[in-house]
């Protein structure tokens, strides 16, 4: 017998995502602005978003694509050496500043090469109460890059005790543990790192649409992430890191890093939380934790999901989504 059940999410938030620009932005933004009430927009465009003019232009483009959808784009700036005055001027437009170590991922060539030179700016962020979001990977062996970066998080947490630091898209059990050691250290986790391990990417035939940075890790890492998520760990937020690339950049010799999950994220999260009997904690994970951590009040939006099969399209524009052509057991049935 079919049980009638519904999951209603109040103002779900995606605290890390890539909208890109131009035609790609037109393809992907409506998919997020339909089902989420807000999202944190990453600044790794070409050129990067690191000044007021570029930021205002990008906000204008995003808002024109969002149109009448109820969706708050929480903007970020690409980390560079900013003066206090510059940051003071930029603060009203942003939720935080995103730091990429130089060269660790897509469009991060302009990132930070030497942390010592970044610390004056980080001090300004602390004083201005602007959160610092970090892509925490070194240039070490690919499976160890996050673990090798953890001492840098510790150094920053100790040196800047008033700064909100967000470890973006954590992938390891060690990162989950570190959350408990510093009161002002937080994290996002993606959908895909809750679902896949390195085996899904490279254990059989290579699956380029599951290639991302940081790379998916071991089963025990995934288990630690899932445990934290399904318990709505109070310092963990959902951030899809949905990162669209055109199919010719993914199915290529030299595959771009990024998994496109925006259109299936909520459906797949409900499935995962239901499998773990944790539906009651999904609201905390996809919205309440982020509201509390960042002290934000997103627009009101109620998203209903029901156990009705959802056939994931093969493509959205030029982009192949995660679970392309597969059937997911949950669908979004109402957005109000
Ligand atoms: O897989 C990824 N893709 N990881 C990142 O950090 C960046 C992102 C992108 O922009 O494509
Ligand atoms: Zn990202």
φ/ψ region of 310 (left if φ > 0, alpha if ψ in -120 to 50, else beta) reads beta
Cα angle, residue 220 at apex, residues 171 and 168 outer, rounded to 5°:
10
Average pLDDT over the chain, rounded to whole? 97
Residue nearest to atom 2 of ligand 1 (CA): 258
Number of the ligand closest to the Cα of 100:
1
Residue nearest to atom 4 of ligand 1 (CA): 213
Compute the distance from residue 3 Cα to the ligand 1 centre, in Å. Answer: 39
Catalytic residue annotation: 241
What is the per-residue pLDDT across 3-46, written as a single tens digit (0 to 9) for each? Answer: 559 999 999 999 999 999 999 999 999 999 999 999 999 999 99
Compute the distance from residue 3 Cα to the ligand 2 centre, in Å. Answer: 38
Number of the ligand closest to the Cα of 192:
1
pLDDT at residue number 4: 58
Burial (0-12, 13-18, 19+ Cβ within 10 Å), 318: middle
Pocket test for ligand 1, best of 18, 149, 240 (most atoms within 8 A of CB): 18
Question: Are residues 100 and 67 in contact, defined by beta-carbon separation less than 8 angstroms?
Answer: no
d(CA 102, CA 66): 31
Position in ligand 1 atom list of the atom nearest CA 245: 11
Compute the distance from residue 99 Cα to the ligand 1 centre, in Å. Answer: 13
- Residue indicated by tokens 């934790």: 289
Question: Are residues 191 and 268 in contact, defined by beta-carbon separation less than 8 angstroms?
Answer: yes
3-state DSSP call for residue 34?
helix
pLDDT at residue number 2: 47
Residue nearest to atom 3 of ligand 1 (CA): 258
d(CA 55, CA 77): 8
Q: Locate all alpha helices (DSSP H) within 2-93, ordered by sequence.
A: 22-35, 52-66, 84-90
Position in ligand 1 atom list of the atom nearest CA 169: 6
Position in ligand 1 atom list of the atom nearest CA 107: 10
What is the per-residue pLDDT across 74-124, written as a single tens digit (0 to 9) for each? Answer: 999 999 999 999 999 999 999 999 999 999 998 999 999 999 999 999 999
Diameter of the chain measured on Cα atoms: 64
Compute the distance from residue 243 Cα to the ligand 2 centre, in Å. Answer: 7
What is the per-residue pLDDT across 276-328, written as a single tens digit (0 to 9) for each? Answer: 999 999 999 999 999 999 999 999 999 999 999 999 999 999 999 999 999 99
pLDDT at residue number 3: 56
Q: What CATH topology corresponds to 7-93+186-335?
A: TIM Barrel (3.20.20)
Q: Enumerate residues 6+ apart whose C-beta is below 8 A from 176.
A: 170, 187, 224, 225, 227, 228, 233, 236
What is the per-residue pLDDT across 55-68, written as a single tens digit (0 to 9) for each? Answer: 999 999 999 999 99
pLDDT at residue number 1: 43
Pocket test for ligand 1, best of 46, 258, 320 (most atoms within 8 A of CB): 258
> Alpha carbon of 259 to those of 16, 84, 214, 241, 294: distances in Å?
13, 35, 11, 8, 25
Average pLDDT over residues 246-256: 98
Compute the distance from residue 77 Cα to the ligand 1 centre, in Å. Answer: 16
Position in ligand 1 atom list of the atom nearest CA 259: 1
Question: Are residues 66 and 36 in contact, defined by beta-carbon separation less than 8 angstroms?
Answer: no
Indicate the domain borders of the chain: 7-93+186-335
Length of the chain: 336
d(CA 187, CA 229): 11
d(CA 52, CA 156): 26
Cα angle, residue 153 at apex, residues 152 and 156 outer, rounded to 5°:
85
The secondary structure of 115-184 as a DSSP string is HHHHHHHHHHHHHHT--EEE----SS-TTTHHHHHHHHHHHHHHH-TTS-EEE-S--SHHHHHHGGG-TT
What is the per-residue pLDDT across 110-165, written as a single tens digit (0 to 9) for each? Answer: 999 999 999 999 999 999 999 999 999 999 999 999 999 999 999 999 999 999 99
The secondary structure of 91-104 as a DSSP string is GGG-SEEEE-BTTS
Q: What are 264's two structure tokens?
A: 């299936």
């Amino acid at each position: 017998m079919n049980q009638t059940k519904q999951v209603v999410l109040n103002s779900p938030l995606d605290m890390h995502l890539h909208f890109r620009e131009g035609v790609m932005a037109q393809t992907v933004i409506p998919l997020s602005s339909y089902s989420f009430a807000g999202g944190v927009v990453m600044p790794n465009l070409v050129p990067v978003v690191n000044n007021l003019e570029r930021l205002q232009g990008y906000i204008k483009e995003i808002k024109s694509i969002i149109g009448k959808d109820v969706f708050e784009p929480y903007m970020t700036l690409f980390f560079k050496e900013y003066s206090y005055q510059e940051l003071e001027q930029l603060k009203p437009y942003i939720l935080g500043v995103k730091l990429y170590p130089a060269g660790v991922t897509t469009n991060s060539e302009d990132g930070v090469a030497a942390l010592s030179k970044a610390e004056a700016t980080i001090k300004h962020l602390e004083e201005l109460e602007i959160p610092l979001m970090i892509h925490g990977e070194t240039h070490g062996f690919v499976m160890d890059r996050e673990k090798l970066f953890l001492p840098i998080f510790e150094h920053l947490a100790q040196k800047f005790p008033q700064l909100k630091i967000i470890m973006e898209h954590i992938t390891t059990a060690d990162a989950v543990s570190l959350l408990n050691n510093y009161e002002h250290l937080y994290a996002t986790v993606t959908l895909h790192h809750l679902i896949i391990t390195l085996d899904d990417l490279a254990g059989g035939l290579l699956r380029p649409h599951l290639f991302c940075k940081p790379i998916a890790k071991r089963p025990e890492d995934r288990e630690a992430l899932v445990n934290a998520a399904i318990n709505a760990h109070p310092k963990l937020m959902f951030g899809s890191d949905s990162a669209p690339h055109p199919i010719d950049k993914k199915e290529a010799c030299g595959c771009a890093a990024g998994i496109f999950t925006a259109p299936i994220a909520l459906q797949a999260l409900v499935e995962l939380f239901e499998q773990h009997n944790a539906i009651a904690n999904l609201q905390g994970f996809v919205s309440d934790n982020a509201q509390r951590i960042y002290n934000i009040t997103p627009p009101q939006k109620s998203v209903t999901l029901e156990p009705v099969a959802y056939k994931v399209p093969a493509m959205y524009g030029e982009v192949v989504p995660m679970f392309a052509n597969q059937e997911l057991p949950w669908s979004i049935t109402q957005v109000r």
